[in-house]
Structure 1
Amino acid sequence: MNQTPTIKISCKNLNKIYRSKKTEILALQDINIDIADNEFISVVGPSGCGKSTLLRIFAGLDEATSGDILLDNRVMTGPGSDRGMVFQAYTLFPWLTVEQNIRFGLKLKKMPKPEADQIVEKYLSLIGLTDFRNRLPKELSGGMKQRVAIARALANKPEVLLMDEPFGALDPDTKGNMQLQLRELWENEKHTVIFITHDIEEAVFLSQRVYVMSARPGRVIADIPIDLPQKRGLDLKDTQEFIHIRKKIHRLLHSRDFGNNLHATN
């Protein structure tokens, strides 16, 4: 008998309005989603639909105009160490080495050095950069920089990892390898991950579930479960099952009648 999954994050009737003296822009409208503990979900949608705004609200870097976001049934207010963030831009400290960047949050927590050393070694190994531990960010490729940024976020043991198009600036080959490494990291670590992307193929490959958003005002028009094997290699992208899901999401994003697609699940 299957157990009902524990809900890690709930988004309840969330709206976001940007107001100025002359204008009022409804960016997000009536967002309602539930994300299970240890689930990897992606959010896709056209440019300007509010994907990144939604993620910033999850992170506590922006405020909803109305509605709530609950983490473990508690209303989230402001940023917190329970959430880690990885951006598209490389946000490493340029004056710190790879090892020092990963260690940064642990120092802020005043974690005992032996414990911090173990965590740093673990993530250097997981991201395959042990031999680059003493390099500065300027000596790394784009993919390496993002691996360090992901390791730095995970080293702080966040309950939720928030990722805003982290591979958007990478070339196709590096991007594919990063997707594979992130998927493997998630299989090992099982954090709850919310991943923002405009790349449908990326969303399908990485995720257990994909939420599709409409053009502004951003609304959730579909909740698509990704019924693909748990263990995934890049050759999965060539299978008929994968292509079918990718095409389905593509059709939703290019449908003119968003209303009829609300809350589609199959």
Structure 2
Amino acid sequence: MSQLHVQATAEEVREKARAIRRRNVEIIRAAGLGHIGGDLSAADILATLYFAVLNVDPEHPDDPERDRYIQSKGHASGVLYTTLAAAGFIPDSLLDTYMADGSALNGHPDRNKVPGVETNTGPLGHGLPVAVGTAIAAKLDHSPRRTFVLVGDGELQEGSNWEAIMAAGHRGLDNLVAIVDRNGLQQGARTEATNALDPLDAKFAAFGWAVRTVDGHDVEALLAAFRAVPFERGRPTCVIAKTTKGQGVSFIEDRVEWHHKVPSAEQTEQALEELS
């Protein structure tokens, strides 16, 4: 099985992330729907994974020995679809149907309709437990495949995640990597005003995880972290990626109202200019 774009440089990954962000803005504007803030915060993470880290092949999306990528924050489907298109899993033209009636590209990703989607996500608190299950399965199969799961920080207020975090630590799942998109905002408010998460690194560590905090928009830092996994043998890995919601677009950055707001035509033009 061939690994996708394993030789991509940091600058090439950054270019991919810029293109993913631009296309993401376009499809949300066209659809009149989407979660643009969380899409933009995660673009560097997804670009780094798909073009420099994951052992996946768009020509063989169901290869049993592929790495698994699970996007638990399934409402941020736009950035997942644009990344899958950039990586060759789906045609770019399919993005023009985003959120349309009957489209495969639903607001929440569907593994039965979209190649490269590992599990249906969207009900927050489900993706990480599923990822724990896939990591256990790999251990039972004596397989080197790894599972990477992206969770939103607000999503970590769901109790099911902490049950999964406890189970992963207990089982020593060093083939599991949880990435927290730590942009500090959730629908309607800041995470710390809603139900405080910090010290998040200490909480993961208390459950038996090896933890690092990185700048989630620094591709070199992301590459260094992902290439170092597992951080410790016998312990699952947690990467807390400090990000900015709406990264790259000045009027969206760190603004809670842009959780699922749609840009106007004029705002779309400005966003695309800023992301060029």
**Does the alignment reach a TM-score above 0.5?**
no
Q: Select the structure that is richer in helix.
A: 2
Q: Select the structure that is richer in strand.
A: 1
Normalised TM-score (structure 1): 0.35
Normalised TM-score (structure 2): 0.34
Tell which structure's C-alpha radius of gyration is larger: 1
